[in-house]
């Protein structure tokens, strides 16, 4: 699935074999996938924690905006940029929420 198909109704999920782990030695949170590791920043962690295979992109944006009392537009840009990047790098997949 290409990131070009990402819409506000898409439902992101972690792909098979992708896991979140706290890396105690380096004091950071990482995503682990076959042969790959990705360090997450605070924004990344907040978005990853919202991904449950049920929530759509717009629901995630709405929830994060509420939680951080932030502007929906700004959060929306962050979420979409993050998801596109992780879809292209093979950590996240999307299904069309119908």
Q: Number of residues in contact with other proteins, rule: CB under 8 A? A: 20
**Least CB distance from residue 69 to other proteins, whole Å?**
35
- Decide if residue 54 touches other proteins (CB under 8 A): no
- Decide if residue 2 touches other proteins (CB under 8 A): yes
Return the number of the residue (64 or 82) whose C-beta is nearest other proteins. Answer: 82
Taking a C-beta distance cutoff of 8 angstroms, is the pair 8, 56 a contact?
A: yes
Residue with tokens 């979140």: 20
Contact residues for other proteins, defined by CB under 8 A: 1-3, 15-17, 19, 21, 23, 25-26, 30, 32-35, 37, 87-88, 90
């Amino acid at each position: 699935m290409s990131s070009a198909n990402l819409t506000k109704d898409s439902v992101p999920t972690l792909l098979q074999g992708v896991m979140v782990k706290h890396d105690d030695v380096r004091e950071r949170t990482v995503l682990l996938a076959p042969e790959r590791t990705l360090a997450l920043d605070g924004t990344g962690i907040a978005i990853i924690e919202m991904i449950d295979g049920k929530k759509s992109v717009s629901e995630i944006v709405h929830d994060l905006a509420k939680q951080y009392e932030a502007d929906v537009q700004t959060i929306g840009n962050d979420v979409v940029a993050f998801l596109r990047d992780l879809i292209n790098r093979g950590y996240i997949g999307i299904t069309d929420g119908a």
